[in-house]
Amino acid sequence: MMALLLVFLCICMCPVAAYAENGEIQGTIQRTLKREPLPVRGRWRRVRKRYRFVSSDGRPQRGWLKTGTRIYYLDQGGFRVTGQVRIGGKYYFFRKNGVQRFGYIKIGKATYFFDPAGHGARDLSIVVVRGVPNTAPMAEPPEDLVTVRNTALNLQFDESGAFYDNKGYQIQKATLRSFLTTALLPVGKTMYIWGGGWESGAEKKSHKGSIEATTIGVSPRWEQFFRKSPRSYNYKNFRYLSHLGLDCSGYVGWVLYNTFNSVSGHGDYVMLAQNMARTYAGWGWGTYSPAGSFRDFRPGDIMSLRGGHVYIVLGQCSDGSVVLVHSSPKGVMITGTVTRRGKKNSQAVKLAARYMKKYFPRWYRKYPDSSRGTSYLTDYSRMRWTLGGKRSVLSDPDGLAGMNAGQVLRLLLGAA
């Protein structure tokens, strides 16, 4: 009892990170976003229903004030602004309490997007009309690099064992190791965006990937958006901003493209998540097993949920739990399932947390949840790669298919 009391007292006596020991708020101040932030301490003072920030020396401050995770803008008199405000030629939005707000915000009859990747400035090219965002894409590539509608869902190997994508390009065959290594590239730096990896306006019906889905490498915009995203990130505020991150199917489509291609602009592999396992197996890439017909998981398995999710298996543990990689709110991450009996502290959960903490610390500090439920073991159908042979797109010279989750992670990332 005494120990608990001491812990309680210690917690209560510790100052909050945004406050100095004497109760003053501490943070940083910038006159403009181009200037370097300077440390500042002070207090809020109420003046006729408005709040002014006054520094320790008694002077009102002005400019961008950041305290902890909260951002304010102080006008010429040191008062925090609210609503939509024009600053330096751009529009920003602040709540009634003065805290800056990001994402979709309805103003009058129109809804605008205030981009966290641009310090929260309003993107004038993104206006929601009747609920559908008009999203300005990145600079368009040459016409011959734009992906086309993926209606060729019956792709097959030719007689020589070559495989051609839906634009007629022959893909380069790869290894299971390169597939899983590629799958880890966006981990810890890519947020979950509903519609991410899909072309704007596709609405998941046209099987048409975004520019990023057929581009080699991780988009710098993904990591930029991640660095600006708060711990409280809610993907529902960023639907269909397809160039800022990836959803589950966009992620798997990107992984496949980057595994089988060395140049950008060939055919894409983006489609509904629930169709991925069955479709890829139908192309001859592997064998299909419906949900509930198996209990084993192998590195590289592509798992589709009828309700609309997809993930890639990194390996199974001796207690039956599975380490996997997927794009799931908050974003692209390594997670572990509980056991079939629901044991939460499973080997896979501990492995996933350990590797995310060591190799992706910036992500782990924001989004430490590394656990997924039993449905990931029971409700998904499976596509298992055919490894080696004339009619296969993956081989396994490294023997990953016979490794457990811990061995695969050590091989791909190192010890943890």
Q: How far is CA 261 from the centre of its chain?
A: 23
- Give the Cα separation of 212 and 224 in Å (integer): 15
Instruction: Check if the beta carbon of residue 157 is closer than 8 Å to that of residue 284.
Output: yes
- Give the Cα separation of 259 and 171 in Å (integer): 9
Nearest to 289 by CA among 299, 304, 300: 304
Instruction: Check if the beta carbon of residue 323 is closer than 8 Å to that of residue 340.
Output: no
What pLDDT is stored for residue 148 in this prediction? 26
Cβ neighbours of residue 70 under 8 Å, at least 6 residues apart? 18, 99, 100
What pLDDT is stored for residue 123 in this prediction? 75
What pLDDT is stored for residue 107 in this prediction? 85
Q: Is 30 exposed, middle or buried (0-12, 13-18, 19+ CB in 10 A)?
A: middle
Say how many CA atoms lie within 13 Å of 163 toward its Cβ. Answer: 22
What pLDDT is stored for residue 211 in this prediction? 80
The one-character DSSP state at 114 is: E
What pLDDT is stored for residue 126 in this prediction? 58
What pLDDT is stored for residue 136 in this prediction? 34
Cβ neighbours of residue 9 under 8 Å, at least 6 residues apart? none
What pLDDT is stored for residue 202 in this prediction? 42
Instruction: Check if the beta carbon of residue 400 is closer than 8 Å to that of residue 408.
Output: yes
Q: Show pLDDT as tens, one digit a residue, over the chain (416 residues).
A: 444 434 333 433 333 335 445 568 888 999 888 888 889 999 899 998 899 999 888 888 899 999 877 899 999 999 999 999 999 999 999 999 999 988 778 888 777 878 776 788 887 655 554 444 444 333 332 222 222 223 334 577 888 888 888 778 888 999 999 999 999 999 999 999 988 888 754 444 444 667 888 889 999 999 999 998 999 998 888 877 778 899 999 999 999 999 999 888 888 889 889 999 999 999 999 999 999 999 999 999 999 999 899 999 999 999 999 999 999 989 999 999 999 999 999 999 999 999 999 999 999 999 999 999 999 999 999 999 999 888 899 999 999 999 999 999 999 999 98
Instruction: Check if the beta carbon of residue 347 is closer than 8 Å to that of residue 247.
Output: no
